[in-house]
Amino acid sequence: MEPAYRGLGRCACAFWLAVAFDIFGLLILLLGVFADVFFYDFLIYAGAIIIFLSLIWWVFWYTGNIEVPPAELEDDVGLLKKDKGGSGGIGGAVRRLSSRVSSGIRSSLRRNGGPPRVGSSAHARVARQPENLPVALATMTPREDTPHTVSAAVDCDVAMPHTTTETSPT
């Protein structure tokens, strides 16, 4: 048997927190309005923010006290209505078809060892590049007027301008 909630409902803690935030925020706001202090604007804004934050507790209290009859929870939590014939009609046919398709998919995944992994699929093995590529480099003496070329094993020449490196004494 469910306990009978009277007055504040199930979420009395959220209710009292909301009331406390409202009272505290109102006191700070009124202190900022009527007190003769140089930081009155801070008190006014802080009181308004605290009152705004009390809305969170009011929403918690309100939503915590919403009562939904089990008849309306049918599809939300997996309960089926027995009075409307859950296994007949178009809804029942769709439900049976859906359960057959999902159980078929589940059984095929179990049979095949689960969904394919990214690292072990065939297209990932084909797309993998070799780690070390052979590169042939030639040693040349630099000239001031001609650009340097580097020949790779794939027969492409890349022209590189001559650069000098300056080092600073340490």
Q: What pLDDT does residue 103 have?
A: 83
Residue 99 to residue 155: CA distance in whole angstroms:
61
- Inform me whether the pLDDT recorded for 15 exceeds 90: yes
- Check residue 16 and give its pLDDT: 95
For the chain, percent of residues with pLDDT exceeding 90:
31
Q: What is the structure's pLDDT at 129?
A: 57
For 27-84, the pLDDT digits (tens) are: 999 999 999 999 999 999 999 999 999 999 999 999 999 888 777 776 666 656 555 5
User: What is residue 81's predicted lDDT score, i.e. its pLDDT?
Assistant: 56
- pLDDT higher than threshold 70 for residue 123: no
63 Cα distance to chain centroid: 24
Residue 26's pLDDT is what? 98
pLDDT of 117: 56
DSSP state of 8: T
Sorted by where each begins, the domain ranges of the chain are 18-67
Interior angle at CA 26, CA 22 and CA 29, nearest 5 = 140
Question: Which pTM value belongs to this model?
Answer: 0.44
- Which has more pLDDT, 120 or 104? 104
Query: Which residue, among 3, 5, 9, 4, has the nearest Cα to 64 in the 3D structure?
Result: 9
Of 67, 66, 56, nearest in space to 14 by CA:
56
DSSP codes, 36-105? --TTHHHHHHHHHHHHHHHHHHHHHHHHHT----GGGGTTTTT---TTTTTTSHHHHHHHHHHHHHHHHH
- The pLDDT value recorded for residue 67 is 85
pLDDT of residue 30: 97
